[in-house]
Chains A and B, each alone.
Chain A
Amino acid sequence: MELERTFDNLSEILQDLSFGSVRRWKEEHPGSKAVAFFPVYAPVEIIHAAGMLPVGLAGAGDKLDIQHADSRFGSFICSIVKTTMEMGMTNHLDAFDGFLFSSICDSARNLCFVFKRNFPQMYVDFLHLPHNSASPASVDFLDAEYRRIIGELERLGGKRINDAALRNSIDLYNLQRKLVRRLYQFRADSPHLLRAWESYLLTRAGNFLPVEEHIATLEGVLSLLKDRPGKRRDSIRVVVEGSFCEQPPLDVIRMLEAAGCDIVEDDFALAQRWFHGDVPSTGDPVRALAESYVRDAVYSSVRHDFAHPRWEGLADKIRNTHAEAVIMLIAKFCEPAYFDYVLFKKKIEEMGLPHLLLEFEEKLFTFDRLRTEVETFVESLVFD
């Protein structure tokens, strides 16, 4: 019961496009700012250490009609870019004082500058994350880039960000990521006790809850899960890959499970699992963050490290979770994900696993087509 209530609660917050929880936080912390970031690889620790609320915005889902944004972003552009623009143009983002974008793809990058023009009252910045992990110069560069952002945030917040605060933030987010990893481990071991849409809600909550609250929620849920009743079902174990940025509708995740998939790994709301391990909180914290991004970040289609290719990362996931199949769940018009599909596919085939490519949009109200494909896929694996 308590678990169900938590999930209901979270899904409500998730769908609240007026960002009541952010407004409430600002009321409780007078004079503080809220800074939104585009969902992948933002230095949340820095925003947090500035005494601000970092909020990961992953589009508006199916709750907002696009009526203004496609006059700015035309055809062949993914939906998250358009709904984010739409939220801005319809005053849904008034609770935010800043918006941080990063170098993940051309659409998101151009969105940053279109934002700058359209919303001059907001602090809008672009973080260049290095793509050359092989060069030692990368860490120095990112170190400087983070310090530039720190300077901007200090200007915005009117106060300095000190190392102690930054270390404290790093510890908190380390703990948060550890709990999320534990949640994923639990799901991989007992997919019948924790459904993917539930773990999705829990992870995604990390995007908008204050980290302290998110930690408490995760701890609460983890302690309750152990005793949850449940029965193993006849399903196939799948890894879902490709929705690291734009998020599929909750119903699509539910549909995958209803069609007979146990999702044992995924990259939904990747934000909460950026690093493989902990960011060191001793020594220079800014440098530690920069080092962690360059050396220890989890792969995704928008991070380039040719020495540690993404397809090997996927292979590891498959092996670690003993998955039987892969579902590539890609947002329509997400160019980085579609490029990677080719190399992922090659790897999956080399491993002798079946896979299915599915495309989604944030706004999807009828699922017949997708469902037919998933069911066929499952039928081909279970029927003899």
Chain B
Amino acid sequence: MANIPATEYRGGVHQRQKDLMLDWYATLDQAAHTADPPTVSMMVSGNCVELLEGFGAVPIYPEVNALQLAIRHQSLEPILAAEDMGYAADNCAYVKADIGCYVKGTTPTGGKMPKPTLLLCNFVGCNTYAKWFEHVATLTGAPLYMLDVPFLRGDQPSQADLDYVVRQLHEVVTLLERLTGRAFDYARFQQAVDWSRQTEEIWSQIKHLSQHVPSPFDAYFDAITLMGPLYVHRAKREGLEFFQAALAEFQQKVDLNQGIYDQEKFRLVFEGPPPYPHFRTFRDMFAKWKACAVASTYSTVGGLWEFGFRHDPERPFESVAMHMLVHNVTNRNYLQRYEQIHRYVKEWKADGIIVHFVKSCRLFSAGQGDMRDYFTKQLGIPTLYIESDIEDPRYFSEAQIKNRIDAFFEALEHSKQAGGHVTREVHV
């Protein structure tokens, strides 16, 4: 096994994150044995974990399981098991890994996975979610609710969109009351929404710290470490406390002018999910050039808070609905994503963009060529496009990816030496 790269941040945050996640896994294991607490399986994207608090229910995130498998180099076996069932080589490997686990009855931690009280498919952007949940429902026989969230066509949702989602949220409440035999605790829900509001505020502050030069953490690779608590614990006191401590830690680094390298050489914005099966290797390719991610779209899958959105305890249902509709990267349209990245480049002072095309995920990757075209040709921002996969270890060709990354930095280095940013004529 490779050693931990010196660049990977190993502060107190890391240990606390680990503890929180282990807690969560322990609760799930307990639920598997005693059917208590109730569990709700849903997608990370624009998740409504606040609502579950109203039932004391715990979320299961199939994506988090899938990514754990990949990071632990355990994803290939379940993927193959799923392919044996007939899933195609080109289907999203997240789904295949998860389904493979159901079939084989394994989890990444070795614990037991409960049969969910409810499969709540929060259809936020990704069409594959709908398939995924239908398939798990047929496999496990667990009840399924398809919470349809209209995709953002314009910049803001319409009143009809909002009403539609709110009505469905109420349907989910009724359904969960029936399934859990518990009454919905509105006050607790409202409290959860308020915890979320506070956590989000802190999270947003953390994300702004990476505007500092040098950035105190890597907003792609390190941000992923923080995503678990953000999705599982955001609506709880523990979550808030975790992020408060993280903020203090990073703030201290900013005060000391400490970056993740002895000297930060390049600042990047990352688009697309990471190659989890080769996470370390991939990170090292950037570390070699002392390149730091200062922002990433992937870290806004669950919610996009750095531009101001907060949950609102005064309008809990509406704000949960708004979060699902607008304030997460997956339900926003492609052009909004361009804008988001562009803002990152400007406000977070980046030298270039890394577009990581992930074969599994059309939600992210269908059209990334156009994105590249927009940034390189229209805006003249150096943009590197590389391909691999989020879950399937077979699609990572180390030598090729490294070659591209090296060439990209050779060019960036050259133009930095020549004075400032890469300048090029702008073509429209």
Contacts and interface: CB of A to CB of B under 8 A. Distances in A.
Interface stretch (A7-15, A22-30, A112-120, A210-218): A112-120
Contacts of B151: 103, 109, 126, 128
Contact of B126 (A106, A130, A137): A106
Interface stretch (A187-195, A268-276, A331-339): A331-339
Chain B interface size, as a band, is 35 or more
Interface in B80-94: 85-88, 90-92
A135 B171 contact: yes
Contacts of A103: 127, 151
Contact of A70 (B128, B131, B135, B369): B369
Given A71-B373, A145-B160, A341-B86, A111 B366 contact: yes
Contacts of A70: 369
B137 interface: yes
Contacts of A112: 333
Given A72-B369, A144-B158, A336 B127 contact: yes
A365 interface: no
Interface stretch (B10-18, B142-150, B182-190, B191-199): B142-150
Contacts of B68: none
A355 B153 CA distance: 40
14 contacts: A70-B369, A76-B359, A105-B127, A110-B366, A113-B335, A130-B148, A135-B167, A335-B91, A335-B131, A338-B91, A339-B95, A342-B87, A343-B134, A343-B138
Contact of B334 (A114, A332, A342): A114
A141 B146 contact: no
Interface string A42-81: 0000000000000000000000000000111111110001
A107 interface: yes
B164 interface: yes
A72 B367 contact: yes
B87 A339 contact: yes
Contacts of B359: 75-76
A125 B153 contact: yes
A131 interface: yes
Contacts of A132: 123, 146-148, 168
Contacts of B127: 103-106, 109, 302, 335-336
Given A342-B87, A345-B86, A74 B146 contact: no
B171 to A, nearest CB: 6
A306 interface: yes
Interface string B325-348: 000000001110010000000000
Contact of B362 (A72, A148, A335, A341): A335
Contacts of B92: 335
A149 to B, nearest CB: 10
Contacts of B126: 106
Interface string B201-213: 0000000000000
B158 A137 contact: no
B161 interface: yes
Contact of A71 (B85, B357, B369): B369
Given A105-B362, A132-B146, A335-B362, A74 B86 contact: no
Contacts of A135: 148, 167-168, 171
B180 interface: no
Given A70-B369, A72-B373, A105-B362, A339 B91 contact: yes
Nearest to A145: B160
Contacts of A333: 90
A134 interface: yes
Contact of B146 (A134, A140, A302, A332): A134
Nearest to B385: A74
A340 interface: yes
A339 B150 CA distance: 22
A207 to B, nearest CB: 23
Given A117-B334, A117-B370, A148-B160, 15 more contacts: A72-B370, A75-B357, A76-B362, A77-B362, A128-B151, A134-B145, A138-B164, A140-B163, A141-B160, A145-B160, A304-B146, A336-B127, A339-B87, A339-B131, A342-B85
A84 to B, nearest CB: 12
B404 to A, nearest CB: 14
Given A76-B90, A335-B92, A107 B366 contact: yes
A164 B15 CA distance: 68
A245 B218 CA distance: 42
A335 B128 contact: yes
Contacts of A304: 130, 134, 146
A9 B415 CA distance: 59
B362 A137 contact: no
A347 to B, nearest CB: 10
Nearest to A74: B369
B88 A338 contact: yes
A79 to B, nearest CB: 13
B61 interface: no
Interface string A144-165: 1100100000000000000000
A81 B370 CA distance: 13
Interface in B89-126: 90-92, 95, 123, 125-126
A48 to B, nearest CB: 22
A342 B86 contact: yes
B387 A339 contact: no
6 closest cross-chain pairs (CB), A and B: A144-B160, A113-B334, A132-B148, A338-B88, A106-B362, A141-B164
A107 to B, nearest CB: 4
Nearest to B164: A141
* Of listed B125, B145, B338, B365, residue having the most chain A CB within 10 A: B365
A81 B365 CA distance: 13
Given A114-B367, A336-B127, A342-B135, A137 B334 contact: no
B368 interface: yes
Contact of A137 (B123, B164, B363, B367): B164
B12 to A, nearest CB: 39
